[in-house]
Structure 1
Amino acid sequence: MTDDSGRRPDRIGVDRSEGFGERLLGVLLDRAHEMPPDLIAPLVAEEVARVGGRDVSILLQDYEQVLLVPLPGRGLKVGGPESVEDSPAGEAFLTLRTVEVPQDGSVRMYLPLLDGSDQIGVMAVTLDRVDEDDRRLLRRLAGLVADMIVTKDAYTDQFFQARRSAPMSVAAEIQWSLLPPLSMTVPQVEVAGILEPAYDVAGDSFDYALNGDILHVAMLDAMGHGLDAATMATVAVGAYRHTRRAHTDLSQVYAFMDRAINEQFGQDHFVTAQMMVLNIATGRLQWVNAGHPAPFLIRDRAVVDRLESPTTLPVGFGGEEPVVSERILRPGDRLLCFTDGLIEEHQAGGALFGEAQLIEWTNRILRERTEVRAVVRALSHALKHQRRGTTTDDATIFLVEWRGGDADHLAALD
C-alpha cells in the first residue's frame, strides 16, 4: 500500500529494537559463520549461563542408535553415555519433547536437538527454576545448536568421533558418508531408516529426496562385502541421484543405473534395488523392483499386504525395461522397505529368520509404538536381539508414512 505521493508509509507501531531473546540467539547466529567447531561448546555454555543455566551437556546419537554419547568440549559437563531407551535424555530424543526432571532445588532440562526434523541428540541444562520464557528460549537455542553442529560437521571429525562408540570399517565410513539424514518429517509424509551392522555395513544403502509434491525413495543392496560392495553402492547411489535430478521416470532411472554398474564393474556384479516415487498430495505410489524383497504395506498398525510387482533383473545385469507398478495409498498408510539381510539371517539353530517372523515382530512393535522413528529403531534392535546379536549380512530398514494434506500453514506468520 502507498500514499498519494507513491511512498510506502512507515511501519508505525512495530517494535524493531533488540530484546533479550534476540540478543541471546543473535550472538550465536552472528558468530556462527567463522566459528571453529571446537568453540561451539564454550559459547553455548556461556549463552545458557545468561538465562541462569549451568552444567550444560550435549549428547549425540551414536551410530547404532542405542546410546546418547557426550560431546567433549570446554565448558560442557561430560559424563557417561545415556541409553536412548531408558533415560530422561532418551525420552526427549524419542518423543521430540522437552523433559524436565526435578532435582534438589533445581530442574534438569533435556531438550531435543533437531536439524530440521532429523534427530541429532539432546542438550541438557540445569536451572534453579523454569518458566515459560526459559522453555521457549532454550528450545530455540537447542534448535540453533543442532543446526550449528550439522553445519560444522562438514569441517571437522570432532562430532563423528564423539558419535562412534566402536571401531568402524572403511566400507562403513564410505556408506555413512553417502546417506541422507536418517529421518525426515513434513506434515504430509515422514520417513526413517536404520542400517545394521552400523560399524561394519558395506553394500546396503538408501536415499530419498522430497522435490515439491514428489518423494523419491531408493533402497539398494550391492553384492558382496567390504570395500567392493561399498564401491558399488557408491556408484549406484550416484547414478540414482543423477537420473533423479534430471527428472527422468523410473524405467529410465533403472536403465541408467544398470549401465553405470555394468560399465564400471562388468556383468558379474550387480546391485538389487527398489525405486519409488510417492505423490505426497494424492498418495499415488509408483515403484520398480529390481530383485529386491517386496515392501510391506502397514495399515491400522498391522502389516496387511506385500507390494507384489513384476521384478526385473538387478541393476548391472542388463535387464529389460522394467514394469512400473502403481498403487493409491490411504492417509496413514506405511511402507516398510527392507533388504534381504533382514530375512535371510540364520537364527541360532540354523533356520532362516524369514518374512513370517519379520511380520510378527513388526506387528508386535506397532502395538507398542507409534512414532515412525521409534518403530524403525525398535524393530531393528528387536530383530538383532532375536538373532542374539548376529548380523552376517547388512540389514537395512526404511519406513515411509503417508499422511496427505498440505503444509501451507507453515508458510503463514499468523
Structure 2
Amino acid sequence: MTTDVVDLCAQLVRFDTTNHGAGDARGEREAAEFCATILADAGIDSTILESAPRRANVVARVPGDDPALPPLLIQGHLDVVPADATEWTVHPFSGIVTDGYVWGRGAVDMKDFCATVLAAVAALAATGRRPRRDIVLAFVADEEDRGEYGAHWLTAHHPGLFTGCAAAISESGGYTYHVRAADGRKIRLYPVGTAERGTAHLKLTAKGRAGHGSRRNDANAVTRLVTALHALAAHDWPVVLTPTVEAFLERTGKALGVTIDLHDIDGTLDRLGDAAPLVESTVRNSVTPTVLTAGYKVNVIPGTAEARVDGRVLPGTEDTLLSEVDALIGPDVEREFLARSRAVQAPVDSPWFDAMSDALRSQDPDAVVVPYCLGGGTDAKAFNELGIDCYGFAPLWLPEGFDYRAMAHGVDERVPVEGLRFGARVLEHLLLNA
C-alpha cells in the first residue's frame, strides 16, 4: 500500500466521514481501519476503539530511541463537516489530484495532517530510523461535533493510553502565511498555536406575559430578548492581552518592522496589515448571537423567547465575561450553558516551541515562526484536561494568494501537493529531533 503523503491524503478524502452532529455520522470506522492498515504495514501496532457502533478511534505508540523522555502525542480527527456536491467543482469525496492540489472535503480539515503523520512515521520505519522519544498517535472521531465519541471519550475512558505525554500537536498551526513588511519585503510567517479560546455557548431565555399582539404589553418576552441581544452585540469588549497574543504582536511586529503599541491595539492591528487577521479575533472575548426562537403566530405575544449565543473566552477570563454578560442581559433574561470548555494555554517559550521552529526552518530557512491563539476550538481541549501542553502544529507550505483559512468547511476545499510534501519533511525532522 502506498505511503506517499499525496496518495494518502487523496485516499483519506475518499472516505465519506461526514459528521452531521447529534450522533449522526458515517465512515469513521472505514477511515480508522485504513489508518490502522497503514500503521501495520509500517510495523506499528494500533488499537481501534469504538465509543459507539462504528464511531471509531485509532491509538498507537511508536517506540523512540530514548524511553526516558516524555512521549509526544500527535492527534487528528477523521470526521468532516457536510458538503453539498451541487456547489462544488468536483465531487467533495472524489479525492481527485489535479492542478497541483488534492481536492475534497477534509483536504485541509484535517485529513491532510492525518496523511502527513502516516507518511512521516512510515518513512521513518522504511529507513530503519526511530523518533527521539516515544510518539503516541491518535486518529479520532467526532471533532466536528462535540468530541463525545472521540477525544473527550478517549480521555475520559482510556486516559492510560496517554500517560506521560508532556505535549501534543494537532491542527491549526505551522502553515505558511505570506505578509509584506513595512519596507516592502515579503515575509513568510508560520503561526504555531500555543493557545485557543474557550467556549461558552449559552441559551438565553426571556420570559414575559403572553397576550394579544394588538395590546400594549410591558412584559413582552420578544422585546426583552431583543434588547438583551442588542446589548451583547453592541458591547465593546475590553482588550485582554494573553501571553500568546502579546508574544505574537511583539514578534510579528519586529519581523515586519512596524511599531507595536500594546496600549493602542486597534492602531497596532492597522499597522500589522495582512498579519492582523491572525490576531484580531483573539485580543478580546466575544459573544455572538446566532439563533433566535420566539412566537408561533403573528398576532400573539409569546410568553417565552429564546436565543443561542456563541461565547469565546480567552484564558483566565471566563468569570469576568459571564459577569459582564449578566449585567448586559439584565434581570429579565436567564442564561444557561449549552456547551462549556475552558481555554487552552501552552508555554510560548519552551523546548517544544523551539523544536517546532527548528523543524520548519529545516525546510524553509527564512521562516518566521510566531505563537498565536486560535479563535475557535479543537480537540486540544480534551487532551489538555490530562495536563498535556497542546500546540497547533500541522506543518504545511502554502503558495502566496492561497486562502487557506477559507478552505476549512468551504466549497472546493483543497490542499497543495507540494505543501503536503513539505509538511511530511518537517514532521520527520520534528520526530527525529524533538
TM-score of the superposed pair, with normalisation by structure 2:
0.32
- Greater relative CO (CA pairs within 8 A, separation 6+): 2
TM-score of the superposed pair, with normalisation by structure 1:
0.33
